[in-house]
Every structure is written in C-alpha cells, then in structure tokens.
Amino acid sequence: MSTRYLPYILILPVTIFLCVFFLYPFVLVAQQAFWSDTGFTLDNFRKVVGHWKFPISLKNTLLLAAAVVPIQLALALLMATMVNNMGRGRDLVLYVWTIPLGISDLAAGIIWLAIFDQSGFLNSMMSGLGLIDRPMNLLSYQSPGLVFLAIMLAEIWRATAIMLVILVAGIGLIPKEYYEAAEVFGASPWKRFTRITLPLLRPSLSTALVLRVILAFEVFAVVQALGGTLFPVLMGETYNYQFELLNGRSAAAVALIILAISIAATLVILRVLRVPKGATI
Amino acid sequence: MAEIQIKNVAKRFGEYQALSDINLTIADQEFMVLLGASGCGKTTLLRIIAGLETQSTGEVWIGDKRVDHLPPKDRGIAMVFQNYAVFPHLTVFENIGFGLRMQKLPNDEVTRRVQRTAELMHIEQLLKRYSGELSGGQRQRVAVARALAMEPDVILMDEPLSNLDALLRLEMRAELKGVLAESKTTAIYVTHDQVEAMSLADRISVMHQGRIVQAATPVEVYRNPAERFVAGFIGNPPMNFVTARPEGKGRWNVAGQSFDGPASDAGALEFAIRPEDLTPAEAGLRATAKVVEPLGAHLLVTCEVDGALFRAVLDSDLVVKPEDSLTLAPMPDRVRWFDPETTKAVAV
Ligand SMILES: Nc1ncnc2c1ncn2[C@@H]1O[C@H](COP(=O)(O)OP(=O)(O)OP(=O)(O)O)[C@@H](O)[C@H]1O
Ligand SMILES: [Mg+2]
C-alpha cells in the first residue's frame, strides 16, 4: 500500500466518528429548524424570535457573558501571572485553583444555591452576626440584581480555571529573555505586562476567550439552579421548547441561533487577536 | 564619562561560588572583552553589571555613581543578548525604538534615532519586517541597533556573534568594531572565542572558574600570560609546556638541554614556548614527530618532547614524516616560565 494514502486512512476513524455523532445530528437539527410539513421555511425562526421571552433571553445571555467574561479574563491573567512567578508550591496552588473544573455546572449552581438560599450559609451567617432578624429570600423576583450577581459569582467561580490553565501554559512559553530585554530597555513591570506578556500571549488568549465565550452563550444549569424562571437565557429557552412545550422545531431554531452567535463571536475574537505572519515567538 | 569599576564582587548561587574576588576597572570608551571557557561566570558578571542579577558582595560603579542597588534602566546601559531577544511581536522599527518609547521620547525623535541607527547597521530596508522574517545575522544587527539607539554610556554584549556562521561572524566582527569605536561608548563584550576577543578588544579579561586571572591588552595576554591557565587557553594551538629541572643558579635543564632561566629556588619550573616560536636548527629540543598536518600556510607538527605532547608550527616547505627526529630551537626572547606550585608566571 502506498504511503500517499496512509494519512487519510489514519484520520478516517476520527472522521467517521465526527460525522456519525456530530455532523449527522447537526444536519438533523438544521433540518428540523428549516423544515415545516410543507417544506423549507423560516417560520420556526420567526416564531421563536417573535416570542416575548426571546429578547429578554438574548439580552440576559449577552449581558451575563459581557459581565462575566472580562472579569474572568482579568482574574485568569492575574492568577496565571502569580502562578508563573511562584517557586515552590506552584503546582499545588494550580491544582487547588482548578478544582472547580472538576465539578459539573449543575453541581456548581447547587453549591451556590446552598450559599444564597433562604436557609443557606449566607443567611445563617448574617443572622448569626446579628445583621438580620430573620432569614431573607435573596434570590427572589424582588431582587433581580442579587439574582444576577449570584449567577455571575457562580459562573466566575466555576469557569475561570479553564482560562487559567490555558493562560498558564501560554505564559510559560514566553522566553525569559524578552522580559529581561524589556527591563534593560526601561519597561516597568506594568509595561512589561502590557507590551510583552499580552501581545505574546495572543494565541493563548484567543483560545481561552473563544472557549469561554462559547461556554458563556451556552450557560444553562447554573442559571437554572440559581435563577429558575427569574432569569431566562437562550439555552433555557431551547430546553423549554424541547422538553416543556415538546416543540422540537422551535428548540432547533433557538439552538441554531446560539450557534450563529457563537460563530460570530469566535470570528471576531480570532480577528482581533490574530498574530501577523512572521510575528510569532 | 562612563568608567566602570567593579569592586570585590562575588556571587554565589546557593552553595556554588560562581564569581569570587572580581576587581576590574574599565576605562571610558574602552572595549573590554570577557573571555573564558563555558561556565566560568562571564554571563553572570555581565548580568550583575546590567542589574539583571544581584551580586552577593561587592560594588559596581558606572561613571561616578554607585549603581549596584539601581534597576537596569537607571544604570545608563544597553544590552545585546546572546539570543538577541528581538521582540517577535514588534516590527524591526518598533524593536529598535522600544527603549526610546519607554523613555517617552517624542515620535519624531524616535523616528530620527531609529533611522540613524538602522542606517548605521545597514538594516534600513528591513524596518517594517517582523523578527520571524529575518535571518540570524539581520536579527543580530537589530539587537545591536536597539542597543545603540539608546545612546547608552555602556553597551553590554553577551556572545552576540555566537549563533552566526563563520563568514558572517568575521564580517560582523569588523563592522561592530567600527560602529562601536564611532559611538564612543564603553563596551563590555563576552565571548569564549579567543580570535574574536583578540581582534575586538582594547583589553581582554581572561576568566577562569569565577575569577579574572589576567586583564591586559591582547598582545600582552598572548605574549606574557600571567598564569599557566592563560598560556594554555590563549592561542591555537596553545603554548607548549615542558618540565625544567634546576642545573645551577639561573640555569635549567629542559629535556636534556640547558637553558638560561629565572633565578628561582623552585625545585622545578615549567618551560613554555608557543608552537610558532620554534624553528628547526642544529641545536635545540630533541623531538620525535608523531602527526604531521599540512595547513597550507604552515605545517603543524605534533611531536613528543621528553615524553610530553609538543606542537610546532613550521614552514610549509619543510618535509617532515611521522617518526622523524627533529631538533627545534625556541626563540630565546619568547620563552616563558611558570611555577607549577602557584601556576603563576615567573619573571626571568
Ligand atoms: N541562576 C543560576 N542558578 C544556579 N547556578 C547558576 C545560575 N546562573 C549561572 N549559574 C552557574 O554559574 C556558573 C557560571 O555561569 P555563567 O552563565 O556565568 O557562565 P558563562 O561563562 O556565561 O558560560 P557560557 O560560555 O556557557 O555562557 C555556571 O556553572 C552555572 O551553572
Ligand atoms: Mg554565557
């Protein structure tokens, strides 16, 4: 057998796997979204977009992403820098910081619910300190700000580590000599961070951001646990259409809208953080 | 005015003594080369002067200012790194202008200085490129230009030519020398290549195991090595050594021949002579040729004298075969003597 075909034969299993378990269901979903009993249609999209909950869900999803991702990015950068300047104990700290990665998003939501709940830690603590007379319902429709804050906290706690590990690996790849050169030529620690670390970290930054932003648009379980119906998001709508209203076509349409938003965001991130030819490490 | 003074500097890394007793004064506008084998502490000393490493004890002065507590940027230095450290994400222009931008110089001043140094280093046509699009030699030029653009009092260079091929090295060497002489900066240049050291330096500091064993002009280091180590390190092939036994006051027996030497009371000395300072003659050291290598301009003959390895660089017209017997006469004023106990040179 000629070696010309060998690479193709070697990637065949993976390709088949992806086609069967990803491409095929995707085609089915797309078919559901674009088809009615009479043939091709955009009615499903018109219907879900026209529904009163759609604008709120879209707004909430984008708002949450806009609030959470920048904070996570800053935190992850700070933590990655700290970890990289650490000598002994570096690995231990990194492991501890990445523990939330091992916890499912629903479990994470429930952990934070246990904190904010009417009979939760926060209430017990505040009444123990005598700050309040009786337990308050923090996560109610009367305090949408608190609900949003709780969801933000849970999301930050849960998913910062994934950016952290990518950035730690990326910072580790930057040769020490660049920092020394920058120092000799007069760059302060802050300037070294903005002029050396950040630009040289662009490949890792874009990977981390793409991954994180896509996850942010898919946010569901944490919101469900903490906000329930108080804070509708797009993925929650998909779930409702599919399992509450048993409307697979509308569910498929919302899912495709989320996909489109994710692709758009990915393209923007890749474009903004692209590294010119010849300018890689 | 940027005279550099290094006073009693020592450096330990944990248990390891990387530098000890470094005392060195480098005059304003002098080109000083730190020469030594790998691991002898050249880079460590340079980094201490630059402020990238802190000495364990001692002081560093640049000009009239003690600088060893100052950060690198306040020492009036610029540096060319061993692997260039040309920033990959910046164009050549921005690389050369990096230090100037950090000083917040106005745009037109940055442009003017970048242009000028780029022309000096012959890279003005590369200003828009990234370092990934440059050859090793071009990158090296960028690194030097970046340092020169700072118009520093002192320029520190850590083996800047070590990654270049032989021909390019030769070319860059000559160019560097010219550019630095013109810029009137004090230069410290680290290398383990003695030819480079000889050709560039006003003075060479030979380092060995964390110490400076001799700091002198290239000719002085070559002709009058202060220590046996220097004699064996400088010169290719290096100096020959033969054990000498005392025969009387100021007379020494070297491989059966009698030579005038130092009036020393030592039980034995080492007689040293450079391979090119030997000529075949009627009287002299008796040698047996072992390996004969015609090198074009010369004939390198490796032979045995008194059971020890001995090299002679002879005229290429000479016909010598292995196992031939030779009589080699050393040029009298080129003979040097070393004390095997202290390893220091002994004056005649
Ligand atoms: N950060 C460090 N920690 C421990 N030891 C070090 C450190 N830096 C250097 N050394 C040791 O100090 C000695 C001198 O190192 P240095 O880098 O100055 O050598 P060098 O003369 O520049 O060698 P080369 O020609 O190979 O570059 C070496 O034995 C090295 O192992
Ligand atoms: Mg070195």
Q: What is the pLDDT of residues B251-285, one digit of tens each?
A: 999 988 899 989 888 889 999 999 999 999 988 89
Say yes or no: A128 and A245 in one domain. yes
d(CA A200, CA A202): 6
ipTM of the prediction: 0.84
Contact residues on chain B for A173, CB-CB shorter than 8 A: none
Q: Are A33 and A81 members of one domain?
A: no
Q: Return the residue of A nearest to B90 by Cα.
A: A279
Phi, psi of B90 (to 5 degrees): -115, 150
CB contact under 8 A, B85 and A175: yes
| Nearest chain B CA: its distance from A192 CA (Å) | 10
- Helix B92-102, helix B107-120: angle, nearest 10: 130
A196 touches chain B (CB under 8 A): yes
Distance CA B31, CA B157 (A): 11
Q: H or E element: which one contains B168?
A: helix B166-183
Q: How much is the pLDDT for A1?
A: 59
Indicate the SS3 state at residue B2.
coil
Selecting from B83, B88, B150 the residue whose C-beta is nearest the C-beta of A280 gives: B88
Cβ pair A93, A164 in contact under 8 A: no
Residue A258 has pLDDT above 80, yes or no: yes
Reported as a single tens digit per residue, the pLDDT across A66-113 is: 999 999 999 999 999 999 888 888 889 888 888 888 888 888 888 888
Interface contact flag, A177 B85, Cβ < 8 Å: yes
Residue A241 tokens read as 């259409």
A157 and A243 part of one domain: yes
Positive or negative: CA dihedral B341, B342, B343, B346? negative
Which of A49-53, A245-249, A272-276, B144-148 has the highest average model confidence (pLDDT)? B144-148
Strand partners, B84: B81
Shortest CA distance from B72: residue in chain A = A184
Task: State which residues have CB under 5 angstroms from ligand 2, the bound ion.
Answer: B 43
Contact A183 B129 (CB under 8 A): no
Q: How many CB atoms lie within 10 A of CB B207?
A: 26
Contacts of A191 in chain B (CB under 8 A): 102
A34 and A55 housed in the same domain:
no
Q: Which of B44, B47, B89 to mutate to test the interface with A (most CBs of A within 10 A)?
A: B89
pLDDT tens figures, A166-205? 999 999 999 999 999 999 999 999 999 999 999 999 999 9
Same domain, B130 and B277: no
Q: Same domain for A17 and A156? A: no
Phi and psi dihedrals of A163, rounded to 5?
-70, -40
Let me know if residue B347 belongs to a domain. no
Q: Please tell me the distance from the alpha carbon of residue A184 to that of residue B256, in angstroms, as a whole number.
A: 59
Whether residues B136 and B267 share a domain: the answer is no
Same domain, yes or no: A123 and A240 = yes
Total residue count of chain B as it appears in this document = 348
B13: β partners: B16
What pLDDT was estimated at residue B156?
95
Whether residue A136 is predicted with pLDDT greater than 80 in this model: the reply is no
Distances (CA, A) of B6 to B20, B21, B48, B58, B323: 12, 10, 10, 8, 52
Cα separation, A226 vs B157, in Å, equals: 61
Over 90: is that where the pLDDT of A115 sits? no
- What strand order describes the sheet that includes B298-305? B308-315, B298-305, B278-294, B325-330
Q: What one-character DSSP code corresponds to residue B36?
A: E
B224 shares its domain with B283? no
Ligand 1 atom closest to Cα of B192? 25
Q: Does A277 map to a domain?
A: no
Tell me the CATH number at B278.
Answer: 2.40.50.140
Answer for the pair B274, B240: CB distance below 8 angstroms, yes or no: yes
Please report which confidence band the pLDDT of residue A122 belongs to, taking 50, 70 and 90 as the band edges: confident
Is A44:A249 a contact under the CB 8 Å cutoff? yes
For residue A73, being part of any structural domain is answered with yes
- Give buried/exposed letters for B180-203 (b at 16+ CB in 10 A, else e): beebebbbbbbbbbbebbbebbeb
- What's the pLDDT at B1? 65
In-domain check, residue B343: no
**Domain assignment of residue B74, yes or no:** yes
Q: How many domains does chain A have?
A: 2
Claim to verify: residue A75 and residue A13 sit in the same structural domain: no
CB contact under 8 A, A178 and B50: no
Testing ligand 1's pocket by substitution, the residue of B42, B191, B211 carrying the most ligand atoms inside 8 A of its CB is B42
Give chain A as a 3 state SS string: CCCCCHHHHHHHHHHHHHHHHHHHHHHHHHHHHHEECCEECCHHHHHHHHCCHHHHHHHHHHHHHHHHHHHHHHHHHHHHHHHHCCCCCHHHHHHHHCHHHHCCHHHHHHHHHHHHCCCCHHHHHHHHCCCCCCCCCCCCCCCHHHHHHHHHHHHHHHHHHHHHHHHHHHHHCCCHHHHHHHHHCCCCHHHHHHHHHHHHCHHHHHHHHHHHHHHHHCCCHHHHHHCHHHCCCHHHHHHHHHHHCCCHHHHHHHHHHHHHHHHHHHHHHHHHCCCCCCCCC
Q: Provide the CA A9 distance to its chain's centre, in angstroms.
A: 35
Task: Tell whether A30 and A116 lie within a shared domain.
Answer: no
Residue A279 lies in a domain: no
Write down the pTM of the prediction: 0.84
Same domain assignment for residues A14 and A139: no
Residues B242 and B180 in one domain: no
- Between A and B, how many residue pairs show a Cβ–Cβ distance under 8 A? 68
Residue A279 sits at the chain B interface (C-beta within 8 Å): yes
Which portions of chain B are predicted below pLDDT 70?
1
Looking at the fold, whether A4 and A58 belong to one and the same domain comes out as no
Say whether both B46 and B126 belong to one domain. Answer: yes
Contacts of A242 (CB under 8 A, 6+ apart): A248, A251
CA distances (Å), origin A63, targets A59, A149, A206: 6, 12, 20
Number of independent structural domains in chain B: 2
Give the Å distance between the CA of B158 and the centre of ligand 1.
13
Has residue B346 been placed in a domain? no
Contacts of A178 in chain B (CB under 8 A): 85, 87
Contacts of B334 by beta carbon, 8 Å cutoff, 6+ apart = B223, B273, B274, B277
The beta-carbon neighbor of A187 closest among B50, B102, B133 is B102
Residue B164 phi, psi dihedral angles, 5° rounding:
-100, 160
Residue of A177, A185, A276 lying closest to B98 (CB–CB):
A185
Q: DSSP assignment of B171-209, as one string?
A: HHHHHHHHHHHHHT-EEEEEES-HHHHHHH-SEEEEEET
Q: Which residue of A has its CA nearest to B50?
A: A184
Does residue B91 share a domain with residue B68?
yes
In a domain, A46, yes or no: no
How many whole angstroms from B22 Cα to the centroid of ligand 1? Answer: 16
Q: Same structural domain for residues B175 and B192?
A: yes
- Last residue of some domain: B203, B232, B261? B232
Instruction: Give every CB contact of residue A119 below 8 A, 6+ residues apart in sequence.
Output: A135
- The pLDDT of residue A62 is 93
User: Between B72, B78, B133, which is nearest A278 by CB?
Assistant: B133
Q: Are residues A31 and A142 in the same domain?
A: no
Nearest residue (CA) to ligand 1, atom 1? B13
| Structural domain contains residue A278 | no
Is there a single domain that holds both residue B273 and residue B201?
no
A202 chain-B contacts, CB cut-off 8 A: 89
Distance CA(B175)–CA(B199), nearest Å, equals 12
Indicate if the pLDDT at residue A133 is higher than 80: no
Same domain, B212 and B307: no
What CATH number is given to the structural domain containing A134?
Answer: 1.10.3720.10
Q: In the numeric block, which tokens belong to residue A78?
A: 């700070």
In this structure, the answer to whether residues B284 and B141 fall within a common structural domain is: no
Which protein residues touch ligand 1 with a CB less than 6 Å away?
A: B 13, 16, 18, 36, 38-44, 192
Q: Are strands B154-158 and B186-191 parallel, antiparallel or unpaired?
A: parallel
Residue B345: inside a domain, yes or no?
Answer: no
**Which residue of B35, B44, B54, B194 sits with most ligand 1 atoms within 8 Å of its CB, as the best mutation to test the pocket?**
B44
* Domain boundaries, position A248: 51-272
Task: Tell me which residue of B261, B246, B249 sits closest to B345, measured CA to CA.
Answer: B261
Q: Which residues on chain A are in Cβ contact (under 8 Å) with B52? A: 180, 183-184
Element (H, E) at B310: strand B308-315
Q: Within a domain: residue A136? A: yes
Judge: B87–A191 Cβ closer than 8 Å, yes or no. no
Interface touch B52/A183, C-beta < 8 Å: yes
Looking at the structure, do residues B320 and B219 belong to the same domain, yes or no?
A: no
Assess if residue B179 is contained within a domain.
Answer: yes
Using the 3D structure, point to which of B209, B232, B255 is the last residue of a domain: B232
Contacts B99 to A, Cβ<8 Å: 185-186
State the DSSP H helix or E strand holding residue B167, giving kind and residue range, or none if neither.
helix B166-183
Distance between CA atoms of residues A11 and A15, nearest Å = 6
Residue A87: inside a domain, yes or no? Answer: yes
Examine residue B274 and state whether it is found in any structural domain, yes or no: yes
CATH of the domain at B58: 3.40.50.300
Interface of B with A (CB under 8 A): 50-52, 71-73, 77-79, 81, 83, 85, 87-90, 98-99, 102-103, 129-133, 146, 150
CA–CA separation, B62 and B152 (whole Å) = 12
Q: Tell me, yes or no, whether A27 and A152 share the same domain.
A: no
Pick B89's closest partner by Cβ from A175, A177, A200. A200
Which candidate from A178, A202, A279 shows the least CB-CB separation from B132? A279
- Do B41 and B170 share a domain, yes or no? yes
Put residue B250 in one of left, alpha, beta given phi > 0 → left and psi -120 to 50 → alpha. Answer: left
Q: Give residue-wise pLDDT tens across range B109-159.
A: 999 999 999 998 889 999 999 999 998 889 989 999 999 999 999 999 999
Report if residue B308 sits inside a domain.
yes
The last residue of one of the domains, among B213, B232, B251, is: B232
Structural domain that includes position B211: 4-232
Per CB-CB distance under 8 Å, the chain A contacts of B88 are 200, 279-281
Q: Which two tokens stand for residue B61?
A: 């002065």
Residue A247 in any domain: the answer is: yes
